[in-house]
Amino acid sequence: MTLIVLIVATLVFRSLGLLGAARFGTWRVSAAHGLAVMLVMTASAHFVPDGGTVMPDHADMVAMVPPFVPLPAFMVYLTGVLELAGAVGLVLSRTRRAAGICLALLFVLMLPANVHAALAGLELSSPLWQRVPEQVLYIAVALWVASDSRVRSPR
Protein backbone atom coordinates (compact mmCIF):
# COMPACT_ATOMS: atom_id res chain seq x y z
CA MET A 1 0.00 0.00 0.00
CA THR A 2 2.77 2.47 0.91
CA LEU A 3 4.61 1.82 -2.33
CA ILE A 4 1.43 2.49 -4.29
CA VAL A 5 0.92 5.77 -2.42
CA LEU A 6 4.50 6.81 -3.16
CA ILE A 7 4.19 6.01 -6.87
CA VAL A 8 0.73 7.53 -7.38
CA ALA A 9 1.53 10.70 -5.44
CA THR A 10 4.79 11.14 -7.35
CA LEU A 11 2.98 10.71 -10.66
CA VAL A 12 0.29 13.21 -9.63
CA PHE A 13 2.88 15.81 -8.66
CA ARG A 14 4.88 15.25 -11.84
CA SER A 15 1.68 15.55 -13.90
CA LEU A 16 1.01 18.88 -12.21
CA GLY A 17 4.51 19.91 -13.25
CA LEU A 18 3.83 18.94 -16.84
CA LEU A 19 0.62 20.99 -16.69
CA GLY A 20 2.58 24.06 -15.71
CA ALA A 21 3.03 23.93 -11.92
CA ALA A 22 6.67 25.02 -11.87
CA ARG A 23 7.21 23.65 -8.35
CA PHE A 24 6.85 20.10 -9.68
CA GLY A 25 8.98 20.62 -12.77
CA THR A 26 11.34 17.72 -12.05
CA TRP A 27 10.99 14.09 -11.13
CA ARG A 28 13.24 14.62 -8.12
CA VAL A 29 11.02 17.30 -6.57
CA SER A 30 7.87 15.37 -7.46
CA ALA A 31 9.32 12.27 -5.77
CA ALA A 32 10.19 14.33 -2.69
CA HIS A 33 6.56 15.40 -2.42
CA GLY A 34 5.35 11.86 -3.15
CA LEU A 35 7.56 10.52 -0.37
CA ALA A 36 6.18 13.23 1.93
CA VAL A 37 2.60 12.11 1.19
CA MET A 38 3.56 8.51 1.91
CA LEU A 39 5.22 9.53 5.18
CA VAL A 40 2.17 11.46 6.38
CA MET A 41 0.10 8.34 5.75
CA THR A 42 2.52 5.97 7.47
CA ALA A 43 3.22 8.36 10.36
CA SER A 44 -0.48 8.67 11.11
CA ALA A 45 -0.60 4.95 11.93
CA HIS A 46 1.85 5.56 14.77
CA PHE A 47 -0.78 7.60 16.62
CA VAL A 48 -4.05 5.79 15.78
CA PRO A 49 -5.65 4.00 18.74
CA ASP A 50 -6.05 0.23 18.60
CA GLY A 51 -8.51 -0.88 15.94
CA GLY A 52 -9.06 2.65 14.66
CA THR A 53 -8.08 2.03 11.05
CA VAL A 54 -7.67 -0.62 8.38
CA MET A 55 -3.98 0.27 8.34
CA PRO A 56 -1.69 -0.88 11.13
CA ASP A 57 -2.42 1.05 14.33
CA HIS A 58 -0.27 1.98 17.33
CA ALA A 59 -0.57 -1.48 18.91
CA ASP A 60 0.43 -3.14 15.64
CA MET A 61 3.45 -0.85 15.41
CA VAL A 62 4.48 -1.65 18.99
CA ALA A 63 4.30 -5.37 18.14
CA MET A 64 6.76 -4.76 15.29
CA VAL A 65 9.45 -3.36 17.59
CA PRO A 66 12.21 -5.94 18.16
CA PRO A 67 12.71 -7.09 21.77
CA PHE A 68 16.15 -5.46 22.03
CA VAL A 69 14.68 -1.94 21.54
CA PRO A 70 13.76 -0.26 24.85
CA LEU A 71 10.46 1.57 25.40
CA PRO A 72 8.65 0.23 22.32
CA ALA A 73 5.52 2.40 22.69
CA PHE A 74 7.64 5.54 23.03
CA MET A 75 9.77 4.52 20.04
CA VAL A 76 6.63 4.14 17.92
CA TYR A 77 5.52 7.66 18.83
CA LEU A 78 9.04 9.00 18.27
CA THR A 79 9.38 7.45 14.82
CA GLY A 80 5.94 8.82 13.91
CA VAL A 81 7.04 12.33 14.89
CA LEU A 82 10.30 11.88 12.96
CA GLU A 83 8.41 10.72 9.86
CA LEU A 84 6.14 13.78 10.04
CA ALA A 85 9.12 16.09 10.52
CA GLY A 86 10.82 14.43 7.56
CA ALA A 87 7.71 14.91 5.41
CA VAL A 88 7.68 18.63 6.19
CA GLY A 89 11.41 18.82 5.49
CA LEU A 90 10.98 17.18 2.09
CA VAL A 91 8.47 19.74 0.80
CA LEU A 92 10.64 22.70 1.79
CA SER A 93 13.43 23.17 -0.72
CA ARG A 94 15.80 24.61 1.90
CA THR A 95 15.53 21.52 4.11
CA ARG A 96 14.99 18.82 1.47
CA ARG A 97 18.62 17.66 1.43
CA ALA A 98 18.88 17.31 5.22
CA ALA A 99 15.43 15.71 5.42
CA GLY A 100 16.25 13.15 2.74
CA ILE A 101 19.51 12.16 4.43
CA CYS A 102 17.89 11.95 7.87
CA LEU A 103 14.98 9.93 6.50
CA ALA A 104 17.35 7.49 4.78
CA LEU A 105 19.06 6.99 8.14
CA LEU A 106 15.68 6.58 9.86
CA PHE A 107 14.64 3.97 7.27
CA VAL A 108 17.87 2.06 7.91
CA LEU A 109 17.25 2.19 11.67
CA MET A 110 13.66 1.00 11.18
CA LEU A 111 14.67 -1.97 9.04
CA PRO A 112 15.08 -4.31 12.05
CA ALA A 113 11.43 -3.66 12.96
CA ASN A 114 10.33 -4.70 9.49
CA VAL A 115 12.52 -7.81 9.59
CA HIS A 116 11.24 -8.67 13.09
CA ALA A 117 7.61 -8.26 11.96
CA ALA A 118 8.14 -10.52 8.96
CA LEU A 119 10.03 -13.20 10.90
CA ALA A 120 7.56 -13.11 13.80
CA GLY A 121 4.73 -13.69 11.35
CA LEU A 122 2.74 -10.66 12.44
CA GLU A 123 -0.56 -10.55 10.57
CA LEU A 124 0.00 -7.00 9.32
CA SER A 125 3.34 -7.92 7.87
CA SER A 126 4.13 -8.57 4.26
CA PRO A 127 6.74 -11.26 3.53
CA LEU A 128 10.37 -10.48 4.29
CA TRP A 129 11.31 -10.89 0.61
CA GLN A 130 8.96 -7.97 -0.10
CA ARG A 131 9.63 -5.78 2.95
CA VAL A 132 13.41 -5.53 2.65
CA PRO A 133 13.54 -4.50 -1.05
CA GLU A 134 10.70 -2.04 -0.40
CA GLN A 135 12.64 -0.50 2.50
CA VAL A 136 15.77 -0.32 0.33
CA LEU A 137 13.70 1.50 -2.31
CA TYR A 138 12.53 4.07 0.27
CA ILE A 139 16.14 4.60 1.35
CA ALA A 140 17.17 5.08 -2.29
CA VAL A 141 14.34 7.55 -2.97
CA ALA A 142 15.19 9.54 0.17
CA LEU A 143 18.85 9.75 -0.87
CA TRP A 144 17.93 10.60 -4.46
CA VAL A 145 15.64 13.48 -3.49
CA ALA A 146 18.37 14.69 -1.10
CA SER A 147 20.99 14.79 -3.84
CA ASP A 148 21.77 18.06 -5.52
CA SER A 149 20.50 18.04 -9.08
CA ARG A 150 22.37 21.19 -10.09
CA VAL A 151 25.38 20.71 -12.32
CA ARG A 152 28.48 22.15 -10.73
CA SER A 153 31.06 23.87 -12.86
CA PRO A 154 34.72 22.97 -12.31
CA ARG A 155 36.74 25.56 -10.40
pLDDT, tens only, 73-107: 999 999 999 999 999 999 999 999 999 999 999 99
Q: What would the pLDDT profile of 102-150 be if each residue is shown by its tens digit?
A: 999 999 999 998 888 888 877 765 677 788 899 999 999 999 999 975 5
Question: Does residue 151 lie in a domain region?
Answer: no
**Among 87, 90, 99, CA closest to 29:** 90
In a domain, 155, yes or no: no
> Whole-model pTM?
0.89
Is 26 part of a structural domain of the chain? yes
| 68 within domain boundaries | yes
pLDDT of residue 54: 66
pLDDT at 150: 57
Contact by Cβ (8 Å): 131, 117: yes
- Mean pLDDT (whole number) for 25-45: 96
For residue 53, the model assigns a pLDDT of 62
- Please state the domain count of the chain: 1
- Please give the residue that has the higher pLDDT: either 151 or 107: 107
pLDDT for res 153: 46
Does residue 155 have a pLDDT over 60? Answer: no
Please list, in sequence order, all residues whose beta carbon lies within 8 angstroms of the beta carbon of residue 22, skipping any fewer than 6 positions away: none
Smallest CA-to-CA distance from 87 within 42, 22, 25 is with: 42
User: What pLDDT does residue 145 have?
Assistant: 97
Boundaries of domain holding 46 = 2-146
pLDDT at 57 over 50: yes
154 in any annotated domain = no
Judging by beta carbons within 10 Å of its beta carbon (0-12, 13-18, 19+), is residue 48 exposed, middle or buried?
Answer: middle
Kindly state whether residue 153 falls inside one of the protein's structural domains.
no
> Counting Cβ atoms within 10 Å, is residue 33 exposed (0-12), middle (13-18) or buried (19+)?
buried
10 Å CB burial of residue 12 (0-12, 13-18, 19+) is middle
Reported as half-sphere exposure (CB side, CA atoms, 13 A), residue 106 has a value of 23
Q: Is residue 84 in some structural domain?
A: yes
| 50 domain-assigned | yes
Whether pLDDT at 60 is above 90: no
Q: How many CA atoms lie within 13 A of 147 on its CB side?
A: 12
What was the pLDDT predicted at 151? 44
Determine the pLDDT at residue 149: 54
